[in-house]
Amino acid sequence: MKRLSILMIFIAPFICHISYAQGDQSAMIENKVANIEAQVIEWRRDLHEHPELSNREFETAKKVADHLESLGLEVKTGIAHTGVVGVLKGTQEGPVVALRADMDALPVTERVDIPFASKVKSTYLDQEVGVMHACGHDTHVAILMGVASILSSMRDQIPGTVVFIFQPAEEGAPPGEEGGAELMVQEGVLKDYDVDVIFGLHINSMTEVGKIRYKIGGELAAADVFTINVKGKQTHGSMPWGGVDPIVASAQIIMGLQTIISRQTELTKEAAVISVGKFTSGVRNNIIPESAQMIGTIRTLDVGMQEIIHEKIRKTATMIGESAGCDVEVIIDKGVPVTYNDPELTRKMIPTLERSAGAENIIVSKAITGAEDFSFFANEVPGLFFFLGGMPEGQSPMDAAPHHTPDFYIDESGMALGVETLINLTLDYMKLSAKM
């Protein structure tokens, strides 16, 4: 016992020194985040006021590239059309950590009464549309710009390399084009820099400011696109018996698709969704047209269920159409895979999340049927994707406007936590790797 006491007296100063050193760095990071918060909000407001659609993020990419170059980072542009990558090499050897932010906006006309509301118009699927950051990607870009600023000022304290990935077209490339995380991966954005792990976040309008949500394993759904073309026979609207009505058949198909979920899918295993988002047919009130087309999304969290649902969609649409005398073509394009948080990496970084937000503000959530093409990155290297609170404190999630809607709103006071958390995840992972 006496020897142990002497040993403790000898090593205690070193333990205290390590503890104080960690505390000093945390305090320094908190101070740097507080100092840059106003600038991050200013960047976000500028991006929000000037949104750009997928694969068209030209001005956004230029702003990002100019900022990264001003920090002295190695910068590469034009990846997957408009993507930007910045590389920060620390003064010490260590792992390569990638941080990702998506840049694109949506074809949504903003209704939020804020001074920096978007008034941008563009063309989407041959229609004039409003353009809005209705999913919070403007906050993601601004947050990562802030992270780059702070980490570049700490170069001598970084035991490794940080790769900042600013990704276009998370919402999906326009028809006939490639894009997004999938194309960035194909073009070598991870392999070229020998990335070891990747971290990403998503602001959430229905999670309170100051809180973080995550899930180990499958967190977000796979998202596939289906197109169903229904061909009938055109006739005068006053003589429906003279033709074959593709609109009525399509209406029956739409209802039939819903019974795949409500009556034929084992929802106690995993959630699944089929939604028709676009329906096109006809040109005049008194003409039953020759054809109709519906386009929709399929969300699944299980690969086996995904294949079963695809087959049931083909069978249901074809047989309902045939019963009405229509020819039916079903096209299913596999899109975004399940977003999967690597269990080992996630468990390793939970203490970092808790230190950043406070353990009482960390929420372990269930899987959701939203989708994220961050999954393409996380399929290549271990990844951790989390949700950052953006709902005003005290507001009910039931009263918060969902993502992808004209009333989508984010409380900017939650962005500082995003900056701090990404910095902490980066540095903590590097330190943990050095000990292994």
Q: What is the DSSP string of 69-136?
A: HHTT-EEEEEETTTEEEEEEE-SEEEEEEEEEEE---BS-------TT----EEEETTEEEE-B--SS
Q: Helix and strand tally (H, E) in the chain?
A: 9, 18
d(CA 48, CA 44): 6
The count of other CB atoms within 10 Å of the CB of residue 267 is: 10
Largest CA distance in the chain: 104
Q: At residue 316, what are phi and psi to the nearest 5 degrees?
A: -65, -50
Catalytic residue among 170, 182, 208, 372: 170
Query: In the annotation, is 104 catalytic?
Result: yes
Task: Give kind and range of the element (H or E) at residue 246.
Answer: helix 246-264
CA gap 292, 281 in Å, rounded: 4
Residue 170: active-site member: yes
Tokens 């940080």 found at? 162
Q: Which residue of the set 57, 102, 104, 245 is catalytic?
A: 104
CB atoms within 10 A of CB 126: 5
Angle at 279 between CA 322 and CA 338, to 5 degrees: 95
385 phi/psi in degrees, rounded to 5: -120, 130
Catalytic residues: 104, 170
